[in-house]
Copies of this chain bind each other. A is one copy, B any other.
């Protein structure tokens, strides 16, 4: 059934009704001084203020809510060292079911603490993809928990799309919308909603040049894995999956990349001028605006700030090589 292959605008609107009392309605902020530097009118949708500090809580909440009582009764499971892990742990706790989280043993202490703080049950594994998947499979076998993938999941994508629904309600007549792209869950949900309701609005993905697998995948029409990416945008290390690749091929007007230097510059600019804390991945869309000014000159642009979880002991502009 085609309608269940790719999410539709209605699926996202239904997800919104489902989760709107669980999530924060995050603000859209602007900065005159950044607009002046960028030569464009920028509207930042601030998911750093979302619960668990990232948009991921929307998708996790929708996916957990969508589980039948039968499917949910043994809890949920995922492998992630990032925001999806914390988001799933909290969404599960809100539903009163356990969340089993497989994390690489070298994950930052701050991430482990976050997952534990939301009641997640952590199992450590080696940091290889293979060990992650094997460990998860064992846990599923043992517990019967339902696997909630961070982006290769219809309901997760619908939840992430609610970011765009709120943004388009709050800001009229945007020329384009841009989100960071890692696995493509956020961009898939956002582009589906925007193209479905506002077909003239362009939708872009923003990606680190040092991890440009989504750019190459969409350009060549074949899925490239993300091989040993070296970027400070630690939320964007993953690669597209067939589901997100399919959605983006249809709805996304292109992926634009930014250098590491511009990502750090954009991140610092947001901290200094907007007085908000955003993680490096969140700064990639602004970095793209800075790097490709000709594309955004005089335009009204919605940018999604994906999260604000940063290790305050390790700021990129203080890093010593």
Contacts and interface: CB of A to CB of B under 8 A. Distances in A.
A8 to B, nearest CB: 32
A100 interface: no
A315 B317 CA distance: 12
A272 B315 contact: no
Contacts of A312: 268, 271-272, 315, 317
A53 B318 contact: no
A144 interface: no
Contacts of A308: 275
Contacts of A48: 275
Interface string A28-48: 000000000000000000001
A315 to B, nearest CB: 7
A276 interface: yes
B277 A275 contact: yes
B27 A275 contact: no
Interface residues of A, number: 17
Interface string A283-321: 000000000000000000000000010001101011000
A49 interface: yes
Contacts of A49: 275
Contacts of A317: 312-313
Nearest to A275: B308
A275 B313 contact: no
A89 to B, nearest CB: 14
A268 B277 CA distance: 12
A271 B276 CA distance: 8
Contacts of A313: 317-318
A64 to B, nearest CB: 19
A317 B310 CA distance: 14
Nearest to A318: B313
A43 to B, nearest CB: 16
A277 B312 CA distance: 11
Contacts of A278: 275
A49 B276 CA distance: 9
Contacts of A276: 275-277
B53 A275 contact: yes
A16 to B, nearest CB: 22
State the 5 A-B residue pairs at the shortest beta-carbon distance, nearest first. Answer: A275-B308, A275-B277, A48-B275, A276-B276, A271-B277
21 contacts: A27-B27, A48-B275, A49-B275, A53-B275, A268-B312, A271-B277, A271-B312, A272-B312, A275-B276, A275-B277, A275-B278, A275-B308, A276-B276, A276-B277, A277-B277, A312-B315, A312-B317, A313-B317, A313-B318, A315-B315, A318-B318
Given A271-B277, A272-B312, A275-B308, 15 more contacts: A27-B27, A48-B275, A49-B275, A53-B275, A268-B312, A271-B312, A275-B276, A275-B278, A276-B276, A276-B277, A277-B277, A312-B317, A313-B317, A315-B315, A318-B318
Interface of A: 27, 48-49, 53, 268, 271-272, 275-278, 308, 312-313, 315, 317-318
